[in-house]
């Protein structure tokens, strides 16, 4: 089985990495592609990550 892996990176906070990740995941899901996202590292976070909320919200909102 062929699998594609995409790595999204940026050089600053608020560069749009989480938004881009959510957007791409939603588009690929809508196209019938099996899609997962992972945020392996986050700096400066204490407690709950709002980035995760924005990624999940972008999957279901159109």
Q: For position 31, what pLDDT does the model report?
A: 94
Q: For position 51, what pLDDT does the model report?
A: 73
Q: For position 32, what pLDDT does the model report?
A: 93
CB 5 within 8 A of CB 40: no
Q: Which of 2, 17, 33, 39 is catalytic?
A: 39
Task: Note if 39 is an active site residue.
Answer: yes
CA 36 to chain centre: 8
Which one, of 45, 35, 11, lies nearest residue 55 by Cα?
35
Quote the pTM value.
0.62
Q: For position 28, what pLDDT does the model report?
A: 92
What is the rounded distance in angstroms from the CA atom of residue 14 to the CA atom of residue 3?
A: 29
Q: For position 52, what pLDDT does the model report?
A: 75
The DSSP symbol for 9 reads -
Low-confidence ranges of the chain (pLDDT < 50): 62
**Length of the chain in residues, anyone?**
62
Q: For position 60, what pLDDT does the model report?
A: 64
């Amino acid at each position: 089985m062929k699998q594609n892996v995409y790595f999204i990176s940026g050089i600053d906070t608020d560069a749009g990495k989480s938004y881009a990740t959510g957007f791409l995941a939603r588009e690929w899901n809508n196209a019938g592609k099996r899609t997962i996202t992972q945020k392996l590292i986050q700096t400066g976070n204490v407690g709950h990550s709002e980035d995760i909320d924005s990624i999940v919200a972008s999957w279901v909102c159109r």
